[in-house]
């Protein structure tokens, strides 16, 4: 079964109460669950002055589901 690596990145500027954090979702196809779980562990990074939270998960890939990047309402 093919899987989709789902990466949610939430970004906000430290001490900025005017603009709420923004969330971006990336969906990247993976050949199998093992590859997906291994890939999910590689998305660990941070930037100074920016509050960033990264969450990853693996989901079974739906028929004809394509990779995509999109904004997510929080």
Residue, of 3 and 19, whose pLDDT is higher: 3
Give 26-70 pLDDT, tens digit per residue.
999 999 999 999 988 887 666 666 677 788 889 999 988 888 988
**Domain of residue 39, residue span:** 3-72
Choose between 58 and 12: higher pLDDT: 58
DSSP 74: -
Please give the residue that has the higher pLDDT: either 2 or 15.
Answer: 2
Q: Per the structure, how many domains does the chain have?
A: 1
- Give the pLDDT of residue 55: 85
Establish how many alpha carbons lie within 13 A of residue 14's alpha carbon, considering only the half-sphere containing its beta carbon.
6
């Amino acid at each position: 079964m093919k899987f989709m690596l789902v990466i949610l990145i939430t970004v906000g500027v430290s001490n900025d109460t005017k603009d709420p954090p923004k969330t971006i979702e990336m969906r990247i196809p993976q050949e199998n669950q093992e590859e997906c779980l291994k890939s999910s562990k590689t998305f660990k990074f941070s930037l100074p002055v920016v509050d960033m939270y990264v969450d990853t998960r693996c989901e079974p890939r739906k028929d004809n589901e394509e990779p995509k990047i999109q904004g997510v309402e929080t």
